[in-house]
Structure 1
């Protein structure tokens, strides 16, 4: 008797749309962008603190090197020129390409 009651309750619940959907039927969460839509940071105008906060893999020491390079040689003419700064390699520039602007 108990078995038939459970079966009936299960069938009723399915008929009413109640229950837990299997994991394969769950919608996937939206994919997040690799970089948020926050504003880009200007390598020609930002302070060392702003650069360190906005760029991945850039701490205050490397950010200060960017500012010092800018003060010594003038404004960057391209984003790729950032790799001329000691301690900043091409891979670090590529990692931050969507976060920086002139």
Structure 2
């Protein structure tokens, strides 16, 4: 009986537990710099505010898709330090 009550208790606890035990933080989200809008770039990339995020979107509209993560530094105001800080979360 004791085992049954223990199992029932665990089942009830798990039934009411959040489905996603570990949620992704903003620093774990991969951002595709060829498709992300300014809001996503601002939210998920360190050192990128609203104006730099919009500059990325504008640069992409004028010049086409980025061919590499390093080519992000071609955007005015985005240096290699920002690229390196975000390299692990930038995708193409």
TM score, norm. by length of structure 1: 0.63
1 or 2, which has the higher helix percentage? 2
How far off its partner does 1:39 sit? 2.8
Instruction: Show the counterpart of 2:83.
Output: 93
Alpha-carbon RMSD across the aligned residues, in angstroms, is: 1.6
Q: Secondary structure at the match of 1:97?
A: helix
Unpaired runs of at least 5, structure 2: 1-24
Matched residue count: 68
Question: How has the CA–CA distance of structure 1 residues 50 and 36 changed in structure 2, closer, same or farther, with 3 Å as cutoff?
Answer: closer
Does residue 1:46 correspond to 2:33, yes or no?
no
Structure number with greater Rg is: 1
Report what 1:30 is aligned to: none
Alpha-carbon deviation of 1:37? Answer: 6.8
Q: Quote the offset at 1:38 in angstroms.
A: 2.8
